[in-house]
Amino acid sequence: MKKSGNEIIINYSPHETRLAVLQGGRLVEFYLERPKDRGLSGNIYKGKVARVLPGMQAAFIDIGLERTAFLHATDVYETFDEFEDIAKDGEDEAREKQSRYAPIQDIIKEGQEIMVQVTKEPIGSKGARITSHISLPGRQIVFMPSDDHIGISRRIENEKERRRLRDIVAKLRPPGSGFIIRTACEGMKEDDIRSDMDFLIKLWADILKKREKTPAPALLYQELDLTLRTIRDIFTNDVDRLAIDSTEEYERAARFAEDFMPELKHRIELYEKEEPIFDTYGVEIELADAASKKVWLKSGGYIIIDQMEALTAIDVNTGKYVGKKNSEETVLKTNMEAVKEIVYQLKLRNIGGIIVLDLIDMTKSANREKVYNALKEALKGDKTRTNILKISEMGLIEMTRKRSRESINQLLCEPCPYCEGNGIVKSKDAVIMEIYRELIKELPKRRRKITLYVHPVIAELLYGESEHIIEDLEKRFKKGIAIKTLSSLHQEQYEVV
C-alpha cells in the first residue's frame, strides 16, 4: 500500500526496532536499533585518558566500551570569534567555524578524568568519536553548557522570526551558556521555550551531580531510544503520520508526544492490521533492493554500488538504454538520471566517507557541467554534509559525505565467511591445484593410502576432467588416494586423512 506525503513507520519488537521514513510512499531513510547494541551517539560519559598522541594531536579515552574512544584536540578547546548561525543538518548541528586550540599534551594527561559526549558511533574497527563540548538536545532548542553562543537553524528563513527567537533565548539563558534554536522552535511562544530550557538546565545539573559521585569510566547520561529520539527530532508539522505496530510502544510514544508536542499527538497512529506493517507500506521490498549492488534506472541504465572499507565506488552504465538521437545525448541523459538516483541511494543506504562516481564519459564540457550542477542541486536535499570536486576529464567525481552511523549494509549484513568479505571465491581449478600441491607434501609422509574429503563440486571434477591429476600422484608416490564427498565443506575447503 503506497501513501503520499511524509510518513514515519515503526516496526517494534522487544528485540529490535526498525524505523522507516517515507516521502511520497518511497523509502528515504532507514534506522535500526537493538537493545543489545543500542546506539551511543549523544551519550555522555565520565572517561579516563588512556593515551595521549601529540603527533596526531589526539587522545584515546576509556569510557567503558570495548574500544577506547577518539578525542581530537579541536574537540577539547574551541573559541568563537563571533556569534554565527549554525546550520542544522537533519537536526544535527553542522558547525562551520575556525577553531583555535592548544596542543593536546598541554591540555590533558594520561590517567586524567574527563567528561565527554559521543558525536560519532563506532564504525567497523574504529572506536567512537567524542567531544568534551557537551550539547543536550530538547524539542525546540539545544543546550550547550560550555559555549557562550546562540545559533539558529538556517531552515527558519523569516528574518523577523529569527530576531524574535534570538531575543527570547538571549533573555532567558543563564550567563555563559549557549543554545541552538532548532527548526521546531519556529512560531513557539516564550513559555514553551522557557519550559524546554528549564528541563535541559535541570537535566544538566543532574548529570553534574552524577559525575561527582561516579568513578570513571561510567555512563552519565544515555540518549533517548530510537522511537522517542525520532519523535523529538524529526516528527514535525510536515510529517503526516507516525504509525507504530505495537500497542505498548504506541502508548509510550503518545505519552511522550503529550508532554513535548501535544499539537502533533493526533498524528501518531496504532497499526492493527494482520499484515506486517513493513509489508503494507512496501518497505521490505525496498530494503531488499537497498542491499543490492545493482540499481536499475527508469531509462534502462543502471548503477553499481561497491562499498569497500577505504571508499565507495559507484559506476554508471547505459545498460538497456540506447537513446534516440546520438550517443552523446544517450550518455548525458543516463548520467543526469544516475546522479539523482545516486544521491537518493547515498541517503537511503547512509553511505559515508570517500565516494568516487565513475560516470559515462562525455565529450562536451557543457554536458559535464550540466551533470555536475545536477549533482550539486540534488545534494541540497541531503541533510548530511557533503563536499564534491569537479568532474575530471575521465568522467570521475570525487566527493565526501559525513559518516555518522553505520550504513544499511553494515546494519543488515556481515562479511561472507567463505570469501572473507572479498565478494569472490577461489576458482575450482585453483582449489584442485592447491589440493595437488598439498598432496605432494603429504604423500611422502604417509605409509598407506590416504582419503581426501572434498566438496561435491570438486569431487565431480576430480572424477572427471581432472582425474589425471590424481592418477599421476598415485603413480608417482605408489600410494592410493580415495576421494570422498562431504557437503558440509565449503568449495574451497578439503581434508586429507
| Average pLDDT score, the chain | 86
- Give the residue with greater pLDDT, 414 vs 273: 273
Q: Which three cell numbers stand for residue 113?
A: 578524568
Tell me which of 112-116, 156-160, 406-410, 461-465 is least confident. Answer: 406-410
Residues 116 and 58 in one domain: yes
**419, part of any domain:** no
Q: Using the CB atoms, write b or e for 180-203: b if 16+ within 10 Å.
A: bbbbbbbebeeebbebbbebbbee
pLDDT digits (tens, 9 = 90+) for 385-425: 899 999 887 779 999 998 877 788 888 887 777 777 677 78
Residue 74: its pLDDT value, please? 86
Residues 361 and 470 in one domain: no
Residues 33 and 94 in one domain: no
Residues 11 and 78 in one domain: no
**453, part of any domain:** yes
**298, part of any domain:** yes
- Burial class (CB within 10 angstroms; exposed 0-12, middle 13-18, buried 19+) of 158: exposed
184-207: average pLDDT: 88
Could you tell me the CATH number of the domain that includes residue 346?
3.40.630
The DSSP symbol for 255 reads H
Residues 64 and 149 in one domain: yes
CB atoms within 10 A of CB 71: 26
pLDDT digits (tens, 9 = 90+) for 366-378: 988 999 999 999 9
Cα atoms in the 13 Å half-sphere on the side-chain side of 86:
26
> How far is 491 from 430, CA to CA, in rounded Å?
11
| Residues composing the chain | 497
> How far is 461 from 432, CA to CA, in rounded Å?
9
Q: Are 457 and 491 in contact (CB under 8 A)?
A: yes
Which of 412, 445, 462 terminates a domain? The answer is: 412
CB atoms within 10 A of CB 376: 13
Which of 223, 239, 272 terminates a domain? The answer is: 223
Q: Which three cell numbers stand for residue 170?
A: 538571549
Cis bond upstream, residue 217 (ω within 30): yes
pLDDT digits (tens, 9 = 90+) for 471-483: 989 888 888 899 9
Which of 351, 383, 412 terminates a domain? The answer is: 412
With a pLDDT cut of 70, the percent of the chain lying above it is: 93
Could you tell me the CATH number of the domain that includes residue 237?
3.30.420.60
Residue 323: its pLDDT value, please? 62
**418, part of any domain:** no
Backbone angles phi, psi at 79, to 5 degrees: -130, 150
Residue 101: its pLDDT value, please? 62
Residues 354 and 397 in one domain: yes
Residues 86 and 14 in one domain: no
At CA 146, angle to CA 143 and CA 150, rounded to 5? 55
**355, part of any domain:** yes
**417, part of any domain:** no
**Rounded CA Rg of the chain:** 29
Could you tell me the CATH number of the domain that includes residue 190?
2.40.50.140
Which residue matches cell numbers 517494534?
Answer: 12
Task: Label residue 254 by pLDDT band (50, 70, 90).
Answer: very high
Residues 209 and 324 in one domain: no
313-320: average pLDDT: 88
pLDDT digits (tens, 9 = 90+) for 220-235: 999 889 999 898 888 8
pLDDT at 464 over 60: yes
Backbone angles phi, psi at 17, to 5 degrees: -120, 125
Task: Label residue 140 by pLDDT band (50, 70, 90).
Answer: confident
Kind and range of the H or E run holding 401: strand 396-401
Q: Are 281 and 242 in contact (CB under 8 A)?
A: no
Residues 237 and 346 in one domain: no
Residues 146 and 207 in one domain: yes
Residues 145 and 93 in one domain: yes
How far apart are the two ends of the chain, measured CA to CA in Å?
58
**62, part of any domain:** yes
Tell me which of 14-28, 95-109, 150-164 is least confident. Answer: 95-109
Residues 142 and 95 in one domain: yes
Instruction: Name the nearest CA neighbour of 120 among 54, 75, 58.
Output: 75
Q: How many domains does the chain have?
A: 4
Longest dimension (CA), the chain: 96
**13, part of any domain:** yes
Could you tell me the CATH number of the domain that includes residue 472?
3.40.1260.20
Whether the model clears a pTM of 0.85, i.e. scores above it, the answer is no
Residue 433: domain span: 428-496
The two beta strands, 494-496 and 450-454, are antiparallel
Backbone angles phi, psi at 472, to 5 degrees: -60, -40
Q: Using the CB atoms, write b or e for 25-55: b if 16+ within 10 Å.
A: eebebbbbbeeeeebbbbbbbbbbbeebeee
